[in-house]
Structure 1
């Protein structure tokens, strides 16, 4: 076998091994459009995040993203966030997401009549089991459907290494 063929084979094997390496989760973000921009009780967006074994050594900050029109009639939104850890039943948590301050000024960034918010719901969360995590959001306001909500999403950012943990390569 000539030197060129050996070089090509070695490069191919290196790429094949590198492509099998699971990637770590530095940031997960997914946003879903609310059908008709009116969030009904029956629409329950689901976000699925796969945590690899090397990701379990870290802490994570978890956010809910909300995008709405200026015509949204409330200063907040209440959500039921159901979190299902690998192999467990979903755990519900009622969360208030503030969208405006006491004077009625929107807290998020705005462009024209559309506002976007990245609202923390958990800081330094521990995702200590590898596998599939499922987050389901339900709007939990008195009004149904909830008008002028355009998108909702989940963002998970790596916050740092847990104490007494070593990063797994």
Structure 2
């Protein structure tokens, strides 16, 4: 009898978990990183990210970041990109943005946690592109990132990503 009760309990818990997985979840943080083919970022390679907000998510402000992972051999102190944003039901808007990778002394910057893999000379950056942004429409936002440097392809870029996190109520 004890064994049967444990089985029913396990099935009940599994059922609750399955039902919870079907419920729409509020977005607290979205983060996705994409591998750059052959670590050579061509202007033709434009990673696109899709962030879906539920109606209750529109009551918040959001911080938006671009993630960049590169090797120490990357030859520049920054990357210029074109970020194209399409709000739900609207036309895309493109904006040219500079992503600084070095500080004024010429040293690579990194995320606040100092995420650098010194053994491999790989650097991870989380660069803010908009803080306390208003995303006031429920639905899917599409954001693409295109490198816009004079050199094409751009060498030693390993990953490009997007992070969107809640920054508090509006």
Same-fold call, TM cutoff 0.5 = yes
1:156 aligned partner: 164
The answer to whether residue 147 in structure 2 is matched with residue 139 in structure 1 is yes
Structure 2 counterparts to residues 1-169 of structure 1, below 5 A = 15=16, 18-108=20-110, 109-112=115-118, 113-162=121-170
Task: Tell me the number of residue pairs that the alignment of Structure 1 and Structure 2 aligns.
Answer: 154
- The separation in 2 between residues aligned to 1:21 and 1:110, in whole angstroms, is 37
Cα deviation for residue 46 of structure 1 reads 0.4
Paired residue secondary structure (1:142): coil
- The separation in 1 between residues aligned to 2:20 and 2:76, in whole angstroms, is 50
- The separation in 1 between residues aligned to 2:157 and 2:19, in whole angstroms, is 45
Cα deviation for residue 145 of structure 1 reads 0.3
Of 63-72 and 20-29, more deviation after overlay is shown by 20-29
Cα deviation for residue 110 of structure 1 reads 1.8
Cα deviation for residue 101 of structure 1 reads 1.5
- The separation in 1 between residues aligned to 2:155 and 2:19, in whole angstroms, is 50
Q: Calculate the TM-score normalised by the size of structure 1.
A: 0.85
- The separation in 1 between residues aligned to 2:30 and 2:21, in whole angstroms, is 20
Cα deviation for residue 17 of structure 1 reads 5.5
- Structure 2 unaligned residues grouped into runs of 5+: none
Cα deviation for residue 19 of structure 1 reads 4.0
Q: Calculate the TM-score normalised by the size of structure 2.
A: 0.85
